Amino acid sequence: MPNFCHQISFTTSAWPRVLESDDCFEAVRAPIESLGGTIRAAFFAIDSFDVLVLSEFPDHISATDIAVQFSGGGQVAHVHTTQLLGASDALEALHKSGPYTQQTVPRPQSFSVSTT
């Protein structure tokens, strides 16, 4: 089943409802469940986003589908969604892409500045 990570920012007007609600993640839960998804974990974040949610869906959906659902409720100002891959899925994708060749990353040249 496809898994996703959603980084979400609430609107200013949504915060009073979030803080007064018995389910402080309802603004996030409703859009995910309307697409057939399930929240596996949800956290408040101290960063540029207010909430981080890990979700699972029975079918593949697009980040656009999720963004449209979130924008409909008026409580989410911004959402960034990333599809997550399990180890076996990631390895399968790497094998499909062909042989892996390691490239050396150039190291920055050190330099000195003279003030004389």
pLDDT at 37: 93
Contact 4, 54 (CB under 8 A): yes
Overall average pLDDT of the 10-14 stretch: 88
Angle (CA) 23 28 32, round 5°: 120
Q: Where do we find the tokens 């603004």?
A: 27
Range name among 7-16, 19-28, 97-106 with the lowest pLDDT average: 97-106
**CATH number belonging to the domain at 3-86, selected among 3.40.50.720, 3.30.70.1110, 3.30.565.10, 3.40.50.300:** 3.30.70.1110
pLDDT at 5: 93
pTM over 0.95: no
Residue 32 has pLDDT above 70, yes or no: yes
Contact 73, 25 (CB under 8 A): no
Using one digit for the tens of pLDDT, what is the confidence trace for 61-72? 877 888 888 888
Query: 64: which DSSP letter?
Result: H
Domain boundaries, the chain: 3-86
What are the residues facing 83 on neighbouring strands?
Answer: 4
| Tokens at 17, concatenated | 């409802």
